[in-house]
Amino acid sequence: MAKSDASKDPAGKGRLKLILLVVLALLLAVGLSVSATWYFLHKADSKPAAAPEVAVNAKAAAVYEALTPAFVANYNQNGRPRYMQVSITLQGRDRAALDALKVHMPLIRNNLVMLFSAQSFDGLATPVGQEMLRQKATASVQEVAQKELGKVVIDQLLFTNFVLQ
């Protein structure tokens, strides 16, 4: 009898420990799963409260100012006179700064006419050449704004009409 009791006890204790460990591991896994789900669901609920802060930090609405009349520049190609007509609109974010830039419009127009007159027909006939000219014109206006107003007023200069003859 002592022999059978001794053989049952070690095997029973080992199985009991194994069962307890498995149950404990399952409870721990379920607890971690529930707490992680709760954490992520409540984290998603807090995002709408942060949305107004993002809207406050967003850029101001774009303001557009058309430069009238359109620019007309002439240049020669192989001894033949050529003409270019360009309508320009300035894009900025501050109406007051754009209004302050209007005071310097003669200087801006002069710089742009000189820039347009220095172009070649072959360079302007391609979209890449037109984009490069637009970027140069943007830099020219930004340079005048920086020099006269102490800050860059426009984001970009847009060609709203571009005619080569």
Is 125 found in the same domain as 86? Answer: yes
pLDDT for residue 54:
47
Q: Which of 38, 58, 78 is the last residue of a domain?
A: 58
Section 116-143 average pLDDT: 90
pTM given for the model: 0.62
Of 41 and 149, the one with more pLDDT: 149
Section 22-27 average pLDDT: 86
Is 160 found in the same domain as 135? Answer: yes
Is 54 found in the same domain as 111? Answer: no
Is 102 found in the same domain as 29? Answer: no
Task: Give residue 44's domain range.
Answer: 1-58
**Please, are residues 73 and 109 in contact by the beta-carbon 8 Å criterion?**
no
Non-local CB neighbours of 112 within 8 Å, separated by 6+ positions: 71, 88, 137, 140, 141
| Average pLDDT score, the chain | 83
Percent of the chain surpassing pLDDT 70: 84
Is 152 found in the same domain as 74? Answer: yes
Q: Report how many domains make up the chain.
A: 2
Strand partners, 85: 72, 163
Is 122 found in the same domain as 41? Answer: no
Q: How confident is the model at residue 18 (pLDDT cuts 50, 70, 90)?
A: confident
Is 41 found in the same domain as 89? Answer: no
pLDDT for residue 81:
85
